[in-house]
Amino acid sequence: MNNALLTKYINKNKRTDTPEIRPGDTIRVYVKIKEGDKERLQAFEGTLIARKNSGMGESITVRKMSFGHGVERIFPLHARVVDRIDVIRTGRVRRAKLYYLRGLRGKAARLRERT
């Protein structure tokens, strides 16, 4: 019985509109921000450096440079606060986790484009 309820909940709340994203891609994540009684969208654009887990618990880590400082943000893929994800550029990498980008600056942190 519990398994049927869990499957029903997962199928109801699982997001189906996520694009095909891989580590190395430059993506723009639109997040819903609540300010008082108003709600607006805020874009966070950066390089996808990690994907963790699968199913409802899947999350992505996006890194960007902001005024010379690296900023990383973790987004749960199936959360309601994530409005949509746009792929800006596809990168070609040979690793599943790109944590080495944390130590690189400027042109050294560039990634090749996937064709």
3-state helix, strand and coil shares in percent for the chain, rounded to the nearest 5 = 20, 45, 35
pLDDT (0 to 100) of residue 1: 57
Q: What is the pLDDT of residues 27-61, one digit of tens each?
A: 999 999 999 999 999 999 999 999 999 888 899 99
Whether the pLDDT of residue 94 is over 90: the answer is yes
Judged on CB neighbours under 10 Å (0-12, 13-18, 19+), 59 is: middle
- Asked if residues 101 and 107 have their Cβ atoms less than 8 Å apart, the reply is no
pTM of the prediction? 0.86
Which domains, from first to last, does the chain contain? 16-113 (2.30.30.790)
